[in-house]
Amino acid sequence: MRRVAFFRHGHSPNAVAAGVDSDFDRPLSEHGRQAVRDSAQKLKNCGVKFGLIIASPLVRAAQTAELLSEVMDVPSSTLQALDGASGPARVWRELLPEISVREAVLVVGHQPGMGILAGALLRRPPFGMEPADFVLLKLDKDFDPASGLPGAAELELSSCE
């Protein structure tokens, strides 16, 4: 059974409070780092062995992916389409090549995109996801990555409901 998890980055102060010039450069707060570690442990305890973590290139998401990678011992990469500026259809199309060759992929990004994608796969309204929240889905056994269309999924675990 193929799985995909959508993970919102941890808490990050605004650019002024963080002392950075742009939204892109906002780092995780210490509270955000701890919340990511806690959520990572919950995901690890569910027994799913992720093959890859794919993250937005924004600093707070990259730092989230780094922490997830440390806790779960999983390699990570970045995907420009997860930067929050791309629509969910484009993000999904760009994720498909990785999802199609792995049993489980962990995607780190931003709201509302993470909640929209999880909701679309479940054919329900978007999830409201707070920082460091995640949604783990089992993709339907008939899911066809080659089709490029979201297939039916089942909610396996969520930290936000």
Q: What is the pLDDT of residues 38-48, one digit of tens each?
A: 999 999 999 99
pTM of the model: 0.94
The pLDDT, as a whole number, for residue 89 is 87
Order across the sheet with 153-158: list the strands: 76-78, 52-55, 104-109, 3-8, 134-139, 153-158
Average pLDDT, the chain: 92
Which CA distances in Å does 137 have to 85, 118, 144, 153?
24, 8, 15, 6
Task: Give the start-end residues of each E strand in the chain.
Answer: 3-8, 52-55, 76-78, 104-109, 134-139, 153-158
Residue 19 tokens read as: 């002392």
Three-point CA angle 10, 15, 19, nearest 5°: 110
Q: Read off the pLDDT of residues 37-80 as tens digits, 9 standing for 90 and up.
A: 999 999 999 999 999 999 999 999 999 999 999 999 999 999 99
Say which CATH superfamily domain 3-158 falls into: Phosphoglycerate mutase-like (3.40.50.1240)
- Burial pattern 114-124, b for ≥16 Cβ within 10 A else e, equals bbbbbbbbbee
Bridge-based pairing of strands 3-8 and 134-139 is antiparallel
Beta partners for residue 2, in sequence order? none
Distance, CA of 39 to CA of 25 (rounded, Å): 23
Q: Report the 10 Å Cβ neighbour count for 60.
A: 28
